[in-house]
Structure 1
Amino acid sequence: MTVPYDAQTSIASLVDQLATLMTGRGQTLATAESCTGGMIAAACTDRAGSSEWFERGFVTYSNAAKQDSLGVSGELIERHGAVSEPVVAAMLDGTLAHSPADWAIAVSGVAGPGGGSDDKPVGTVYIGWLARNRPPEVVRYQFDGSRDEVRSQSVVAALVGLRERVDAG
């Protein structure tokens, strides 16, 4: 899946749109990030006034952090790998279980340059979104480019996906 992103759209403008949507609905966001290492949370909190709608961020880069901070099962990680739909879904559940936020974003992927495999090559990223009392949505992306490009594309995809879901109500 490609990221719906063009040169006219910047991360800052996506955050501005989210801020407007979320504050207008009185909703808040929490994030759980692995391969993006807090970049989504940083993008959100770069905007002044983000404390009105950004609740918290978990950087759960290691498997132990996913287990300790979010309650992701070690067995689930062992069975599917940290870069998988089930683990990202569990990260979403853990994010909302450990925060009062209305929405969660979770990301886990192989940013590179190493660490890929045949079924999860470099650039494979799972991004998920969850609103309270709804089922999680997790999408697998295959990004191209350097480590920085994969991570930046992941941030954009996460923010665009959240904007679409919040806007849809």
Structure 2
Amino acid sequence: MTLAEEIVTLASAKSLTVTCAESCTGGMVAAAITDVAGSSAIFERGFVTYANLAKQEMLGVSGATLDAHGAVSEQVAREMAAGARSAARADVAVAISGIAGPGGSEFKPEGRVCFALAQNGDVSSETVEFGAIGRANVRARARDHALRLIRDALITK
């Protein structure tokens, strides 16, 4: 069973809904979930907010947070997750913002991805350094990590 199939099975069994707010993955998490038959019962909408303006307009991310920490930060990922959960009226929301590459800087290297999970009014976050493994690989690993975060949250709900 794939991670996405596990998510649909777990969420369906518990009558829970999920959503996602994606930047560097560009909708890959939503695509993985909606590839599963029956996903419409647990997934109503997701958000691809690649630009900062989209993060602000669609998810309510603060301009001050973006200015202070940059889009690739746990602070922004937390605001993205909380905003997505609220906008979708979902039980669980995951957010992803990172630098898939090529490029980056000494302060924010290629392969750095920030994740956040919003549920029960709580928001947690973490940063994963995937390294300079190539754009496609960073995006795929970020997608899979986000799916694991959702699955694990559903197991404990």
**TM-score scaled to structure 2, two decimals?**
0.96
1:64 aligned residue:
53
Aligned positions of 1:32-43 closer than 5 A: 32-43=21-32
* Secondary structure of residue in 2 paired with 1:55: coil
- Whole-Å separation in 2 of the counterparts to 1:117 and 1:138: 22
Matched, 1:55 2:44: yes
2:68 aligned residue:
79
- Whole-Å separation in 2 of the counterparts to 1:43 and 1:20: 14
Aligned positions of 1:17-32 closer than 5 A: 17-32=6-21
For 1:106, the aligned partner's letter is A
Listed as ranges, the gaps of 5+ residues in structure 2 are none
* Secondary structure of residue in 1 paired with 2:116: strand
**TM-score scaled to structure 1, two decimals?**
0.89
Deviations 1:67-89 (A, max 9, x none): 11111111110100000011001
Counterpart pick for 2:110 among 94, 119, 122: 122
For 2:126, the aligned partner's letter is V
* Secondary structure of residue in 2 paired with 1:141: strand
- Whole-Å separation in 2 of the counterparts to 1:119 and 1:41: 29
Dislocated runs of 4+, deviation >4 Å:
none
Listed as ranges, the gaps of 5+ residues in structure 1 are 1-11
For 1:146, the aligned partner's letter is G
CA RMSD in angstroms comes to: 1.0
* Secondary structure of residue in 1 paired with 2:45: strand
* Secondary structure of residue in 2 paired with 1:104: strand
Q: In 1, are the aligned partners of 2:94 and 2:150 still within 8 Å (CA)?
A: yes
Q: Which has the larger displacement, 135-144 or 35-44?
A: 135-144
C-alpha displacement of 1:165: 1.6
Matched positions, count: 156
Q: In 2, are the aligned partners of 1:110 and 1:125 still within 8 Å (CA)?
A: yes
